[in-house]
Chain A
Amino acid sequence: MKALLNYFTSLPSDILLADLSFTILAITIAYLLTTHSKWNWLWSWITSTDHKKIGIMYLLVSFLFFIRAGMEALLIRMQLAFPNNDFWVFQGDRFNQLTSTHGTVMIFLVATPLLIGLMNVIVPLQIGSRDVAFPFMNSLSLWLFISGGILLNVSFVAGGSPNAGWTSYAPLALNDYTPGPGNNYYPIGLQVAGLGTIMGGINFIVTILKMRAPGMRFMRMPLSTWAMFITSILIVYAFSALAVALLLLTFERLFGTVILSGGEGNPIIWQHLFWIFGHPEVYIIALPAFGIFSDVISTFSKRKLFGYPSMVFAIILIGFLGFMVWVHHMFTVGLNTNINIFFALTTMLIAVPTGIKVFNWLFTMRGGRIRFDTPMLYALGFIFTFVIGGVTGVMLSTVPADYQYHDSYFVVAHLHYVIIGATIFGVFSGVYYWWPKMFGKFLNEKLGKWNFWTFGIGFHFTFFPMHIMGLMGMPRRVFTYPEDEGLGFLNFISTFGAFMMGAGILFFIINIYLTTRYSKKLMLNDPWYSRGRTLEWTIPSPPPAYNFARLPEVKSREPLWDAYEKGYKNIDFIGEYEDIHMPNSTSLPFFIGIGFLIASFGFVFEIWTVAMLGMAMVFLLLGIRSFQQNNGIHIPKKTVMAEDRRSEE
């Protein structure tokens, strides 16, 4: 008992606080679940193979990670608020852990899965399908993501977080310089989560190729679906490169290979592999957002998307060029001049399809009837912010000037302008837009506007000054800066802005709480004032488990809008009612996730018996799955008909 007490009192105060708040949270949740007898309800979600529920779980879990990484951002900003500051424990190595996990969590566990979550909810609805191609694999993707996410998140209290930056460059990330479990968490946690992401990519490629409703040709797909299709292809290629890189890093750290080290090995191999993944990743998290904005802008302007074919072409071109620009992250490495010039050229070229998209969005609004609801506000905020981020992107592509910008706060400013501007604004826009579809209730508009304006204005206060800090010579990833360089004022502004962004997120949480608790069900197919254009607005909100009682027939790009123009209330559905075949729910993916979690802890701490145990569990479960007779369930025609009638009234 005394030893235990000693152990706890020896912990640094931040870890103690994290432990404590986590325990309290866990107990509260368990208590609430028990008193409301909701454990069964929870289990039905965990084992669900319904793409909508999986999508919602993706959104929820990544939002929790967003809060965690956001709190880290606030801690970073507090430490940097003043020159020579000593905030709490966050100096030196502890600060480096903060930035490393902030970056890693934001990219891998927030930006990517938030969009995959939306993708899950929306894509089958937009293509008129009843589920994704592989529902079991879909659930497995989710649980691998959660498993990898838990691993990265507990590193903070169990053995130390990764501290070599979100890029985890060798040789700093190797045993010689950062021994201990901390940097093992990075390759192993990301490997598990990445595996799930690759499966998700494959799943959506097949879903979009094979499961479109009758008449939904490629050039009739909504832009969100198009973007998510190209993104899925990027995921398969890019995350495979990452998997290789992570494997090399794992081997180097656990088994002492010498591929990435400075002596016999070559640390630049890591940088190439990482950025061959890393740049396409930027588009993996940007393209779906572009798709969402295309749908939102067109809906809230009441206009057809301007230049649809060129929008599709631009997405494909961006996806393709995205694989040919990775060296722009490595201009200062000292590669051959011709290499630098080639990659500068491809980087500049990417600006062209991006420009096409921006102008098409602008001209979509021309001649429309623009409403400024929250999804649209986020879309407009995106155009404003992203154009600034794009402009600094072109500035960064001029190699000699990049010798100055690289690894300075200028880059931190640029990356947040594009990532928050596109991905986070995109997710907010999409969540506000499809919330009524997911839950049958609107989010409150007034709180939505508070959410948008505080988050948006706070964003510019936080990140605009960083451009100038970079030009003043402030390198990124420093935990302090001297008094005499005149950086204090700008840094203070930036910290102020960060808290404003935090307030924005609070408005969002309050909004969800209040509307879920108090607002009324909508009972409308198309709650956005009958402006909907695509298939997801032709079915009830929330849709039944099987989405479409009868399959729609698609005769144009915007079937619903065309029906409205002809004076109809909804599109025609073809075919007869019939028994609908749906997949079973299953607990195997959840347990496979747990197996991976156990194995990963074994690998991280190099306790091989635990690692073997976990892997054995995974293979056993895969074996069980292979021999399972899985016939799914049939929803009888009568039920379907009755439900459909009710929703039409």
Chain B
Amino acid sequence: MSHHLRPTTAPRPDRTATLLAVLLSILAFVVGTPAHAADAPAHFEPKRLVFHPDTEQLEVEVVNDGPAPLRIDGFELTGPERHAFAVAEGGDATTVPPGGRHRIALRVERGAFEAIDEATGRRTGKFREGRARLRVKLREAAGAGSATDQAIGLPLRFEAPSWVSAYLVPAVVKVLVLVMLFVMPLASLLTWLERKQSAMMQDRVGPNMAGVTILGKRIRVWGLLHIAADGLKMLFKEDLVPARVHKALYNLAPFLAFVPALAVFAIVPFGDALCYGQLGEVLSQADVDQCAAGRGGTPLQVAQIDVGLLFYFAIASLASYGTTLAGWASYNKWAMLGGLRASAQMISYEVAIGLSIVGALLCYGTLEPHALVKAQSETYWGIVLQPLGFLLFFAAAMAETKRTPFDLPEGESEIVGYFLEYSGMRFGLFFLGEFVEIVFMSAMVATLFLGGWTLPLDMFGASGFTSPLWAQLFFAGAGALLVLVGVSALRASPHAEIVGIVLTLIGAIHLALSAWSIFTGWGTALPHGLVIVVGMVTWGVKVALLCWLQLLVRWTLPRFRYDQLMKLGWRGLLPLAIANVVLTAVAVYFLMPGKDFLP
């Protein structure tokens, strides 16, 4: 019996050895990266200052790393453009205790870099780049006689990047990375996972046949290649347009359903910030904040707009046009009814979804997702402060994506839905758009309530783990989990040989890192590139798990009746959302530190 559960044959050693070698070399790179250069008695935070024409004054802190108090003797500006910079505050001689910080403000005279029109003598508004260096002279104030003079330097840079290099190019790159490497792969993966996961939940086998034959060996990783097979099928299917449809709207509807679902990803932050040219260095939060402001780096978010969440509501509402128009333009009464159900449902739940996040906005005081995540990591995650808001948002989000138990617009099991008359890739767009929406809603829940790319308990900062113990715990936990999953995947399915081996090896490397950290205290000073990767992976894992949870809900609950759906929306979620807003407002009013300024 159980021939399908037969354990796989042992992996061939040559392949395993190659994989091991590759992963070990990655490990060597990660571990071997030089930590903080600790020869100087103090360092600057941030490590470099980047001025833009609109930032005239910036602050930098001198941090005393040594065991003795340091005396700051004086400042000196060097470099070709030193006359354009000046120390504005904190320029007096002072003593910094061990571990203490001294704040200095620097000014730039931007007129020095502005080009002047030869003919008219007017300012042109065009700036050139300029560089200088701030030297701070330090003296150890321990013993009067043994004092040694030392100096640390801070690079200063003035730059006026054009709109293209400051926004357009990074945005295009980020769109490509986010959409091509994360959203679309995950969404197509979900089309397969939907069927596979439901099979696993219902004791079936599920899709497992698609695969490729490489060098005579059939590789079918749990039928993962059904994604490609389905995509090809969709593309080559006959695209049938019924005779009496409204041509323009019929053609427009799939795009209205698909494009907004992708466009809203613009506001989702998938990491803190990327500092150009500093990937190998250990950075502090001040460095990363400077990059997040667009100076010398770029935030890991396609569009950092202050009204981010309003943008999301505005764009996401367009998707309901897609479904309604699809139903209306099809010239089919069943599609029409489906479209009507869709519009009624989406409008009802959009009210609840909007109100359910107001509580979170009150707590964190911002509409900008990047700042929202920052605020969560500084205080508590949204799910702690807003448990009710989280539940309401999650329920309303599932209704927005039109999935069971809210799948009345489509009703794939018996009633006929709004895209009844669509075939081929037009239908494919509706289908894929639904999965992109699932990914987006998961990303939104992760951003609003689960701390985005951050790890809980303040365990991971801009320069790595906040203490070696966290590093050990994190890597030991993650490693144990990966090894467990990898080994059980190896044992459970004969098709998961490669996946199982890779997962087990990655898990083993995590465990090795944990052990390494126990002996060396490694983990508190990680290179910037690795910190970014950890953040993005954290975010990705959160989003993937939330997608999994949505699928789990979808295959667990039966569908609501139409009146139950409306009742839940208008008489369940909406009053609760309003109550949540009122309670949060009252709580915020009484607990807010600066509440006295209110009358």
Q: Do A and B bind each other?
A: no
Residues of A in contact with B (beta carbons under 8 Å apart): none
